[in-house]
Amino acid sequence: MIRSAETCQCPIQEIGPSMAETCSGQAVLLFMTILEAFINGRCDLADPCNRLNSKDDLHDSYDFVVVGGGTAGAVVAGRLSENPQWKVLLLEAGGDEPTPSAVPAWVTAYWERNDTDWLYFTEPQEKACLAYGGKCYWPRAKLLGGCSTINGMMYMRGHAADYDGWAVNGATGWSWHEVFPYFLKSENNKEIGAVVSHEYHNVGGPMPVQRFRHAPEFAHDLVSASLELGCPPTNDLNGDSSTGFTVAQTFNDGGSRYSTARGFLRPGAKRENLHVVFNALASKVVVDPNTKKVTGVEYIKDGATKVVGVNKEAILSAGTLNSPQLLLLSGIGPKETLEQFDIPVVQELPGVGQNLQNHVGVKLKFTLMKEPDAPILDWASAMEYMLKREGPLAGTGLSQLTGMMNSKFAPAGGRQPDIQYFFSGYHASCGDGRNTDPENYDSLERRTVMITPVALQPRSRGYLTLRSTNPTDPPVMQPNYFYDDHEMDVLLEGAKIAYRLANTTLLREKYGMVPAPGYGKGCPGSGDSPTDEFLRCLARMYTAPENHQVGTCKMGPVNDPMAVVDPQLRVHGIQGLRVIDAAIMPTLPTGNTAAPTIMIAERGAEFVITRHQQFKKRPDNGLGIRFGESSQSSGTNNGQWNDNRWSYGNGADWQNNEQKWNNGKPWDKTWNWGDKPRDDQHSTDWRKKYNTPTYPESI
């Protein structure tokens, strides 16, 4: 590590593993090793005062045990530990966030390595990923912060119709009107007024949202070029506009990534009631077979199997692929599956592992004949980041660019687009530090970029099941890509639009953008005007399997035979067990899944708090009545806990906003921490400003 000139308030510890080893070539490795050493020594990136330490000496039991410290689990553990009377244990299968993961450009540095990635591959597909033997790679993070530590950070909420569909089909209380406040709760948008509207965004939450400090010129030119397609650009796909191309807002601040661990866990790193254990793989939820009540969680740490007791609830936030696997290992799931593996049936729930859904796309490669493939990362751009947190390292290249459009198969009304575009290129992931003299540009290869249209409302459904009873074995993951022809039909439309976009005047004349010569050479019908069969062949060969898996612990009422959790995310038939992550989504949202997953975690944590926190009076209506239950004391008060959690502070403020909010917002807390000020609590001033909106016609 090369320490910064300024002195950090706390000693810096180098948190790995190294990312430099993911770059090939001796000169590249040397440069990247030096650059990484600089990164590891920066106070703002290392954040040494707020890192969480793995706890060795655990209590026999905890009020709440959260399994998985990923995108959702970090939110849940952070929120629950705000109550100093509750003991919270977070079991994380991986380690802490590596310091280099904070650099936006190194977005894929921790993919495809067994110390930070589960290395999951699907079962061989008949119609997808054929260029890779039919096995599709699904990067899933195995470290604190989960996929919020390795994803593209894009902030997309989906559309109102997504959540209204959930509510209509049995997920009572999850309509857009009811989930919108929970998106606002976590958001701290830095561009309200300049880029996005205050009608749809909020400040004061733990997760900063804004555009990256750097985007390639090509990204802005592509947004402009979309006008030629009759698709006006937009600043905000989470606002008035549901279609258009834009440089998206992302979870970042100060030129660095903001994971949910950074937003929700690090502010509470000094809480004595929050314990975290790294490299602890949960292997089973212990349930009393007579009472059907959770009594503990079994986990594996350093090769030893241990059990920790649960006083109130165990919460599975292990993700769409690991939460159902853990339920099955615990005897909760389809009877025939459990009997096949000689697992005693604790609760028969046929829906566990079923309803697996994922977005799917096709990778289209283009060459910029007028653009040399000059290095993006060199000493100059490296120093730009080191000194000012700006330049190519402060962004994700073209990955921050996106667009949404309606195909002819989209739902009527145009309010719910069915195609999303992702882009790839101009990445500053690796380099040897050298800059190329412009006089030598002609000798360089031409730059290539990828456009990936994605079908947002797939009809194909897959499943997940056990491979064995060994919790370290990956589950069987069968997505059934293109099982329904609908996705292929949508992608065919999306690919044709992508080719038209590449052939717009701006991109053609300025960059010489053409289909990459030789790409898809095994597919007949290529060229500047490819045939339908060529595009279908590309989708089967070069599938974009995406990383938006949902649905394996579907939320629904008790009379839904495939529902695993109820609308309060409690596992049907089991006391003291919830699933709070993307697995509970009944259907995919229209867009990226990170923000919806955080919303679910905020909502799920509030259900738990409402269930167990003692308070003096209930609100007259609103979320508390809809989801509240009989209050039970969480322990003695000892003067440390303000149980009047429905206090609204200044009465005038509440009265002025009476028409904006339904009375009774369960996140409106007034914790009493005594005389000592707390620096780990997030602002709740947003509640005074925002109305739960009516639906604009464009959403």
Are 219 and 401 in contact by the 8 Å Cβ rule? The answer is yes
Residue with tokens 């002609």: 442
The CA distance from 643 to 520, in Å, is 64
- The secondary structure of residue 263, as a DSSP letter, is I
Q: Which amino acid is at 514?
A: V
The CA distance from 479 to 477, in Å, is 6
The CA distance from 300 to 472, in Å, is 10
The beta-strand segments (E) located in 325-363 are 332-333, 347-348, 360-362
How many Å from the N-terminal Cα to the C-terminal Cα in the chain? 48
Closest C-alpha to 603, from 231, 96, 235, 182 = 182
For the stretch 189-196, contacts whose Cβ atoms lie closer than 8 Å and that sit 24 or more positions apart, written own/partner, are 189/249, 190/253, 191/249, 195/235, 195/236, 195/249, 196/235, 196/236, 196/238, 196/239, 196/249
Closest C-alpha to 115, from 19, 17, 33 = 17
Closest C-alpha to 130, from 482, 477, 455, 451 = 482
Dihedral class, residue 19 (left if φ above 0, else alpha if ψ from -120 to 50, else beta): alpha
Torsion of CA 490, 495, 496, 501, to 10 degrees: 130
What radius of gyration, in Å, describes the C-alpha atoms of the chain?
Answer: 25
The CA distance from 565 to 174, in Å, is 13
* CB neighbours of residue 464 within 10 Å: 26
Are 397 and 426 in contact by the 8 Å Cβ rule? The answer is yes
Are 486 and 508 in contact by the 8 Å Cβ rule? The answer is no
3-class DSSP assignment, residue 378: strand
Neighbour-count burial for 99-130, b at 16+ CB within 10 Å, e otherwise: bbbbbbbbbbbbbeeeebbbebbbeebebbbb
682 is catalytic: no
The vertex-452 CA angle with 124 and 414, nearest 5°, equals 110
What's 480-548 look like in SS3?
CCCCCHHHHHHHHHHHHHHHHHHCCHHHHHHHCEEECCCCCCCCCCCCCCCCHHHHHHHHHHCEECCCC
The vertex-85 CA angle with 80 and 86, nearest 5°, equals 40
Q: Which of 201, 275, 427, 548 is catalytic?
A: 548
The CA distance from 175 to 161, in Å, is 8
**Which run of H or E residues covers position 625?**
helix 623-627
The CA distance from 694 to 39, in Å, is 45
Catalytic residues: 548
